[in-house]
């Protein structure tokens, strides 16, 4: 990048989007997150010079600095096919309009949004039409694409997400292209730790153990419990990592290692979101770490989009 373009991040979480844009050459100058546990992880990796901890609804938009790009992974649980599908009827769903409020105040050149793929068809498409029209009414040209981590990030996780990029200048949108598919070069098992893990991760004696042994007939697959019972992923592919991993340990995917059946560790989950080994995960409050990772993004997919944005800005 010939110029160092600046980024502000809403609903920053543990910084997955920020990390991707930083890797692509952008400078993060402002971020906001309400969850105190996510803020701790964010500060461990980015420092504390610009993160604003607190409710975005209580932040005066006039206090937010100007930046070139606004990124926002606004809460997706209300639109998720595994959630309650309440959309704008849920207060979290209405946080998209907080994004619009900040856009109106900051007037960034580009807006980058990430959400669950189900957003596109939620409420027969009405929810997405509202989002798109809101951006257009703010003067933006909108393009979007659904991308799966296993197809676009070389990450062996089944993770479909919609990525929306809105441009203030039509010429920017005309020049922009979403990155194409790339071959998957590894399996989830390539990312799992080989040595024996602490006993707390092993599921021996689980109340569903006998049922698990009947169902888990393929050691090349990753399994998990859902509301409908036991579920298996595709061969070598991890099922979608969810924030619910932090609420019930059974929501954490599990598999056969060389010792028994065990849950994925937080570090393995981070690897399956594309975070590097150097990314710091808090040692305490492991439930919160699982939740944070499930709430985050597939970093390599976002980074590829960010690099394409950088190309058109130059």
Domain regions of the chain by residue span? 6-184+298-313, 188-293
Supply the pLDDT for residue 35: 96
Supply the pLDDT for residue 88: 44
Question: In the chain, which residues have pLDDT < 70?
Answer: 1-2, 76-93
Alpha-helical runs (H) found in the chain: 16-23, 36-46, 95-106, 126-137, 149-152, 170-175, 188-191, 209-215, 266-271, 286-295, 299-313
Q: How many residues does the chain have?
A: 314
Residue 149 phi/psi, 5° resolution? -55, -40
Supply the pLDDT for residue 94: 76
Closest CA to 235 of 186, 290, 183: 186
Task: Kindly state the DSSP code that residue 154 receives in the 8-state scheme.
Answer: S
Supply the pLDDT for residue 198: 97
What lies within 8 Å, CB to CB, of 262 at 6+ separation is 197, 201, 202, 203, 254, 255
Supply the pLDDT for residue 122: 86
Convert the pLDDT of each residue in 123-132 to its tens digit.
889 989 999 9
- The owner of tokens 């400078």 is 27
Supply the pLDDT for residue 174: 96
Residue 151 phi/psi, 5° resolution? -105, -25
What kind of fold does domain 6-184+298-313 have according to CATH?
Rossmann fold (3.40.50)
> Residue 194, Cβ neighbours under 10 Å: how many?
8
Q: Do domains 6-184+298-313 and 188-293 have the same CATH topology?
A: no
In the CATH hierarchy, which top-level class contains the domain 188-293? alpha beta
How far apart are alpha carbons 292 and 257 in whole angstroms? Answer: 25
Q: Which residues are catalytic?
A: 76
- The owner of tokens 């598999």 is 255
Closest CA to 16 of 58, 37, 46: 46
How far apart are alpha carbons 24 and 110 in whole angstroms? Answer: 15
> Tokens representing 161?
């997400």
- pTM for this prediction: 0.93
> Tokens representing 44?
């461990």
Supply the pLDDT for residue 76: 57
How far apart are alpha carbons 10 and 25 in whole angstroms? Answer: 19
Task: Find out whether 94 and 134 touch, Cβ atoms under 8 Å.
Answer: no
Do β-strands 27-33 and 254-256 pair in parallel, antiparallel, or remain unpaired? unpaired
> Tokens representing 73?
């992974």
């Amino acid at each position: 990048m010939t110029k160092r373009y600046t980024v502000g991040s809403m609903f920053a979480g543990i910084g997955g989007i920020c990390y991707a844009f930083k890797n692509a050459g952008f400078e993060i100058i402002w971020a906001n997150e309400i969850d105190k546990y996510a803020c701790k992880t964010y500060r461990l990796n980015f420092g504390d010079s610009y993160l604003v901890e607190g409710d975005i609804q209580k932040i005066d938009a006039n206090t937010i600095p100007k930046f070139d790009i606004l990124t926002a992974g606004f809460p997706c649980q209300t639109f998720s096919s595994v959630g309650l599908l309440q959309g704008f009827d849920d207060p979290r769903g209405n946080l998209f309009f907080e994004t619009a409020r900040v856009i109106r105040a900051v007037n960034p050149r580009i807006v980058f949004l990430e959400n669950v793929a189900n957003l596109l068809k939620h409420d027969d498409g009405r929810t997405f039409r509202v989002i798109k029209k809101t951006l257009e009414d703010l003067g933006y040209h909108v393009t979007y694409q659904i991308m799966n981590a296993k197809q676009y990030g070389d990450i062996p996780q089944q993770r479909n997400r919609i990525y929306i990029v809105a441009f203030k200048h039509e010429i920017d949108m005309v020049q922009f292209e979403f990155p194409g598919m790339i071959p998957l070069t590894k399996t989830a098992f390539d990312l799992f730790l080989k040595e024996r893990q602490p006993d707390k991760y092993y599921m021996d004696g689980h109340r569903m153990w006998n049922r698990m042994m009947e169902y888990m007939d393929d050691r090349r697959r990753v399994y998990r419990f859902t509301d409908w019972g036991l579920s298996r992923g595709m061969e070598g592919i991890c099922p979608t990592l969810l924030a619910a991993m932090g609420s019930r340990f059974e929501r954490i995917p599990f598999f056969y290692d060389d010792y028994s059946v065990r849950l994925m560790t937080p570090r393995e989950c981070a690897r399956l979101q594309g975070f590097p080994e150097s990314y710091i995960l808090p040692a305490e409050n492991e439930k919160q770490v699982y939740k944070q990772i499930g709430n985050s993004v597939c970093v390599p997919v976002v980074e590829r989009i960010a690099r394409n944005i950088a190309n058109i800005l130059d």
